[in-house]
Amino acid sequence: MKKCLIIIVLILLCGSLLADEADTLVVFQGKMKSPVLAVGLSTIFPGGGQLYNGKYLKSSIFMGAELALGGYAVYHYLDYYNDIDAGITSTEALSTAKQFTWFFAAVYVYSLMDAYVDAHLSAFPNERLILEPDPKINGIQLSYEF
């Protein structure tokens, strides 16, 4: 039993030696964009990292989402504090403001992560995954175009 276990472990460890060809990854020879700069721009300016990476539609979506959520949160916080000054003790505005603040924080963090990942992937070529009908096999073909 022990001898069989050792043989199985050796086969698993030597599997890469038995392979026909090593896995290769083709990298575009262009210059990779700086992930630190992308995150820095996205930290200061909503959607700035996406603009730096050349993702203009994504940048406008992040910019709009962050500005709208932040604006709604500020509006409801001001509404809550104006009610306190007027002597009204309703916590509905505060609850709404906290919800918008959490949504804003989630979108903000996602924007930072997206800018970082897009900058890292900027050195890779644009590859496309295509799903199309194939009349030869009377079905659907999934192909990856390089």
Mean pLDDT by 10 residues, the chain (146 residues): 72 59 50 89 92 92 94 90 73 88 95 92 66 72 62
How many CB atoms are located within 10 Å of the residue 80 CB? 19
C-alpha pair distances (Å), 103 with each of 19, 64, 67 = 48, 13, 12
Q: Enumerate the β-bridge partners of residue 132.
A: 141
The model carries a pTM of 0.64
Sequence letter at residue 88: I
Residue closest to 105 by CA, chosen among 34, 46, 38, 40:
46
> Which residues share a beta bridge with 142?
131
Predicted local distance difference test score (pLDDT) of residue 130: 62
Helices (H) and strands (E) in the chain, counts: 6, 2
Rounded Cα distance, 34 and 53, in Å = 9
What confidence score (pLDDT) does residue 25 get?
Answer: 46
Rounded Cα distance between 137 and 125, Å, is 30
